[in-house]
Amino acid sequence: MALSLFDKYGGFGPVSKIVMAFYDEAIDSDIIGPYFEDTDMRQLVDHQTKFIASVMGGPASYSDDVLRRVHDGLNITQVAFNEMTRLLRETLIAFELKEEDVDLIMFEIESKANLIISGRDK
């Protein structure tokens, strides 16, 4: 049986470090930083770690309904989604994940765009 990306890169510990580094960048972003102003970042990092772990083939899972529900009302725009994916890709590369693995992770996340984007760009 093939090793999942989650196992290949060491499980929850390393994934959590990736997510924390991503949010360090995201909070500083003029585009997506404002989305996190009134957010419990510890809780968000925990949820995002589980989400990224699930995308990487780990034990956590998020249904499309859950993804839609947690992002509903946040008015996330296409521009904001693109910024998020750009920063996440850069973070994964900085953590030295192989390019083909980064592409797989990003494909999975980008395939969920319709569940996350609900706002209109101005």
Q: How many CB atoms lie within 10 A of CB 88?
A: 22
Determine if the pTM surpasses 0.75: yes
Per-residue pLDDT, averaged over 53-61, amounts to 90
pLDDT over 80 at 121, yes or no = no
CB of 26 closer than 8 Å to CB of 87: yes
pLDDT of residue 81: 97
The rounded percent of the chain whose pLDDT value lies above 70 is 98
pLDDT at 122: 60
What are the residue boundaries of the structural domains of the chain, listed by start? 11-116
Half-sphere exposure at residue 47, Cβ-oriented, CA atoms within 13 angstroms: 11
The CATH number assigned to the domain with range 11-116 reads 1.10.490.10
What mean pLDDT is predicted for residues 36-57? 93
